[in-house]
């Protein structure tokens, strides 16, 4: 699975940095400013000649005016465009993941050696999908799609949802690996060797190899358990967010403190997902 796009990118600080970067890199800021700087260099090199003075004054003024307008007067619009780009990337990742994930989890749920993990993972897929769809529906009822608040909350939920899908894909792959390790065969073989009156060096080597195989199995299952726990936390946070959204009132929807706290936790979970996947 690929790294999901910018976990934590919807927090206030990083969103402001994104707005600043987009404004500075906008052609209407960048190109006039570059012309103005060239004119300024010309003034320094050749003295007060008219073309250089005009280029410096007009270029720097136009670039600065565009920057101030975009950053201070149209910051919400710039931020919304930034969030839409994140959403488009995440949506493409979702389509890619969902194409095969459900079938992989169905297979994982049938594995004899770790069936309970596979069943939990399959259930989590349905729970996460239901809650994310509810989040989208509630946001659409309480906020206008053109509002920055809508975009920020939507992307936060989408990032967390994609993190859950990434985890489920990893779980399915790990359980497939575990299914090849027959714990009963290994323990039976170790017991059989232990009953021998004399254990040859080759037998001791075999026991070490069998124990190493069991250790690999346990390590994979521990990792699976950690990912499942993360997903359960994410599903709980979706419930909190959805509950908080239902409490939003007013014709011009305003976020409550509870909603802001819940959304911040979703953003933090999405950020943690990067470290968990590392």
Q: In the prediction, which pLDDT does 212 show?
A: 93
**Strand, helix or coil at 231?**
helix
List, as one string, the DSSP characters of 125-144.
HHHHHHHHHHHHHHHHHHS-
Of 266, 244, 60, 39, nearest to 161 by C-alpha is 266
Q: How far apart, in whole angstroms, are the C-alpha atoms of residue 77 and residue 135?
A: 23
Query: CB–CB of 223/231 below 8 Å?
Result: no
Query: Is the residue at 35 inside a domain?
Result: no
- In angstroms, the CA 42 to CA 47 distance is 7
Q: Is residue 23 part of a domain?
A: no
**Site of tokens 């040859």:** 200
pTM attached to this predicted model: 0.65
Q: How many domains does the chain have?
A: 1
In a domain, 48, yes or no: no
pLDDT of 84 over the 60 cut: yes
72-82 pLDDT, tens digit each: 445 556 556 65
- Using pLDDT thresholds of 50, 70 and 90, give the confidence band for residue 67: very low
pLDDT tens per residue across span 91-147: 666 666 666 888 888 888 777 677 889 999 999 999 999 999 899 889 888 887 666
The string of pLDDT tens digits covering residues 218-272 is 999 999 999 999 999 999 999 988 988 888 765 445 556 677 888 888 888 877 7
The model's pLDDT over 157-195, given as tens digits with 9 standing for 90+, comes to 888 888 899 899 999 999 988 888 888 888 898 889 888
- 107 lies in some domain: yes
Q: Measured between alpha carbons, how far is 190 from 207 in angstroms, rounded to an integer? A: 6
Domain membership flag for residue 86 = yes
- Provide long-range contacts, Cβ within 8 A and 24+ apart, for 68-71: 70/23, 70/26, 70/29, 71/19, 71/20, 71/23
Confidence of residue 32 (pLDDT cuts 50, 70, 90): low
Query: Does residue 126 lie within any of the structural domains?
Result: yes
CA distance linking residue 167 with residue 161, whole number of Å: 10
Half-sphere exposure at residue 241, Cβ-oriented, CA atoms within 13 angstroms? 32
Give the residue numbers spanning the domain of 163: 81-277
């Amino acid at each position: 699975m690929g790294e999901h796009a910018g976990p934590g990118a919807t927090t206030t600080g990083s969103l402001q940095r994104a707005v600043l970067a987009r404004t500075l890199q906008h052609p209407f800021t960048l190109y006039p400013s570059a012309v103005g700087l060239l004119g300024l260099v010309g003034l320094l090199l050749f003295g007060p000649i008219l073309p250089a003075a005009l280029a410096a004054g007009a270029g720097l003024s136009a670039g600065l005016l565009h920057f101030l307008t975009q950053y201070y007067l149209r910051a919400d619009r710039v931020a919304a465009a930034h969030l839409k780009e994140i959403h488009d990337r995440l949506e493409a990742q979702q389509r890619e993941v969902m194409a095969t994930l459900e079938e992989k989890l169905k297979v994982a749920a049938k594995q004899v050696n770790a069936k309970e993990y596979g069943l939990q993972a399959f259930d989590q897929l349905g729970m996460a999908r239901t809650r994310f769809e509810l989040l989208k529906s509630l946001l659409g009822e309480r906020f206008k799609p053109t509002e920055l608040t809508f975009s920020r909350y939507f992307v936060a939920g989408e990032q967390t949802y994609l993190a859950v899908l990434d985890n489920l894909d990893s779980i399915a792959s790990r359980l497939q690996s575990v299914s090849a390790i027959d714990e009963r065969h290994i323990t039976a073989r170790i017991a059989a060797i232990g009953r021998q009156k004399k254990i040859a060096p080759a037998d001791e080597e075999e026991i070490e190899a069998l124990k190493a195989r069991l250790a690999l199995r346990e390590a994979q299952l521990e990792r699976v358990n950690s990912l499942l726990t993360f997903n359960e936390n994410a599903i709980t946070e979706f419930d909190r967010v959805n509950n908080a959204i239902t409490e939003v009132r007013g014709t011009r929807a305003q976020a409550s403190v509870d909603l802001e706290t819940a959304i911040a936790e979703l953003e933090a979970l999405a950020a943690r997902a990067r470290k968990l996947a590392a």
